[in-house]
Amino acid sequence: MRRLLFTLIVLFATTMLLTACIYDENPVDFTLPALDSNEGIAIATSLFEQVQTIWDEDNGEFWGERLDSPLMFADAITRVAITNMSDPEGLFFHPHGDVYMGILPDNIFISNTASNFAGTIWGMMQWHDVHLIDEWHESQIVRLLVHEGFHARQYDFIKGEWMVNQRLPHMFYADARTSVALEMTALLAALRSEGDERLQHITNALSLRASRRYNDPDAARNENGQEMLEGMAWFTEHTLVAPNLNETLEMIEDWLDFAIDTAGFNMFGYFSGTLYGFLLDDTGAIWNRELIWNTDLGEFLQNAMNITELIPFEQLELEQYDYTRISAISTAWVISYNEMVQRAYEAVTNPSQRFILEGDFYFSDWVDAETFFIGEHDEILVTAGYFTITGTNYIIDFNDGHMSFLWMPIRGMYVGNAHNITVSASGTQATSPTWTLTVTDNNYHIVQSDDGLISVEQR
C-alpha cells in the first residue's frame, strides 16, 4: 500500500513539474519514431546509456551509494515498453540488443512516474513525451530519466512512512502563499550573495518559514514531505545533470513568477528542496545521508549556519522581496479561486449553468455531481454518472454521486478538444487526444452530440 501511494503521488508531482520546464529557443527538427522501430530503440538505448554514464561518474558519491535504477520508456497507445534491464524473473522484458522489450498489461498506468511493476519499481517515461526533444535539449530528457530513476530508489535514501497531504491545503490561503513566495525569494537572494548578506537572507527565509508553520502546524509535515519527495529528486537531477547554478536559479525564478499567479505553490517542494539543498551543500555539511520523510531542511540549514535566533514576522524587512506586489496578487488569486469553487457547487444545483475554469488552477475538491461536459479549452459543465476520466494533465473521478476533480495544467495544453472526441460503439468509452472516459456503472452510457461534446446519461 505504501508503494502504491508513493507511485500515485509521484505521478501527480512529475506531471506538474512539466509546467516549469525551460524550452529550447532553437528546437531541432525531430519526428518521433515508434518506440519498437529500429530508430526508436536506438534513441531509447542512447538515452539509457547517457544516464548510465552519469551514474557511473557519480559512483555513489552524492547519496552514499550508487544511483543505478530500473528505467523504462513506455508507449501509452501500443503499450510497448523498452527498459534498461529485465524484470527479476524475466517474464515481461526480454533482451533486444542492448535493451529489453515487452508489453505492459492494461492495468499499468503509463506516465512520467515511478511505477511498481513485476516486482520492481521503475523510473518510467512516457514515450510520447520524448517529442519534447523538439523543445528541450536532449540533456533535459536525460534529466527527467535521472529524476524518475531517483524516485524508483527513493526509499533507499529516505526512510520511514510517507504520510503527507499532497494538496498542501494551506496553500489556498493568501497569507501562506505570500509567505512561501517571500521565503523562496529570500533563498534565491541568498544563493546569489555571500558572507553576511547571505546569512541575512537565510535568516529572513527561515523566519518566514517558522512563522508560517507556527500558524498552521500541519504545514510543517506536509511541506517537509514535499521537499523530501520531489525536492530531493529535483536537487539530484540538477546537481548531477545540470550543474549550472545560475540557469537553475533562473528557472526557479521563472517558476516562482508563474506560481504567484496560479496554484503552482502546491508543488513548491521541487524548488524549495532544491534551494535548501544548494545552500546546505555550500556549508560543507554532510546532510543527505540520514533523511526521513519529515526531515526539516530549514532546521538543517539553521544548524549548519549556527543561526540561533529568528526574526518575528512583523520585524522582517520584506519589501526587498517585493512583499506588496506578491501579497496583492496572492489575495486576488485566493478570491478568484474561492469564486471558482462556489461556481462548481452552484453548477451542482443548476446543471444548465456552465462552470468555467479560468486560468491555471489546481482544483481538488468533492462536489455532488449530476452532469459533466468537456468542451473546448477550459469549459466544464457538471453531469451524471459513475466513471473516471484520466488524461495527461488531470484525473476526474465520479463515484456514488460525488465528483473529485484534480487538474494539473501544462502550459500550452487544454483539457480537451471538443472536435476530436470519439465515442465507442458500445457507448461506454469516449476518448480524445489527451483523455479517456470510461463508464463503470451499467446504468449510464456516453452520448456524443453533433458539436463533439459528450455527456454521460442514465440508460
Classify strands 120-126 and 71-74 as parallel, antiparallel or unpaired. Answer: parallel
pLDDT grade, residue 393 (50/70/90)? Answer: very low
Which is more confidently placed, 135 or 19?
135
Please indicate whether residue 356 or residue 335 has the higher confidence score (pLDDT). Answer: 335
- Strand order through the sheet with 99-103: 94-96, 99-103, 80-83, 71-74, 120-126, 113-117
Residue 423 has pLDDT above 70, yes or no: yes
Residue 198 C-alpha cell reads as 547571505
Q: How confident is the model at residue 326 (pLDDT cuts 50, 70, 90)?
A: very high
Statement: residue 278 has pLDDT above 80: yes
CA distances from 81 to 43, 103, 107, 237, 296 (A): 13, 6, 14, 23, 38
- The cell numbers describing 27, all together, are 528546437
Give the confidence band of 108 by pLDDT, cuts at 50, 70, 90.
Answer: confident
Q: What is the pLDDT of residue 263?
A: 64
Q: What is the dihedral of CA 306, 215, 226, 239, to 10 degrees?
A: -30
Residue-wise pLDDT for 290-303, tens only, equals: 899 999 999 999 99
- pTM equals 0.76
Predicted confidence (pLDDT) per residue in 238-268, tens digit: 999 877 899 899 989 998 988 887 767 777 8
Confidence of residue 426 (pLDDT cuts 50, 70, 90): confident
Question: Does residue 283 have a pLDDT over 70?
Answer: yes
Question: What was the pLDDT predicted at 391?
Answer: 46
- Indicate the average pLDDT of the chain: 77
Distance CA 55, CA 71 (A): 13
- Mean of the pLDDT values across residues 96-111? 88
Indicate the helix (H) or strand (E) that contains 247: helix 245-261
Alpha-carbon separation of residue 107 from 76, 88, 103, 127, 260 (angstroms): 12, 19, 12, 18, 37
The residue written with cell numbers 513525451 in the block is 129
In this model, does residue 444 exceed pLDDT 60? yes
Is the separation of the CB atoms in 123 and 71 below 8 Å?
A: yes
Closest CA to 84 of 136, 149, 133: 149
The pLDDT value recorded for residue 425 is 81
Give the SS3 label for residue 222.
helix
Query: Average of pLDDT values for 189-215?
Result: 96
pLDDT at 121 over 50: yes
Mean pLDDT: which of 162-171, 194-203, 363-372, 421-430 is highest? Answer: 194-203
Rounded mean pLDDT of 155-170?
A: 83
Percent of the chain topping pLDDT 90: 47
Choice between 436 and 205, residue whose per-residue pLDDT is larger: 205
CB burial string 217-239: b at 16+ within 10 A, e below: eebbbbbbbbbbbbbbbbbbbbb
Instruction: Pick the more confident residue, 88 or 359.
Output: 88
pLDDT exceeds cutoff 90 at 405:
no
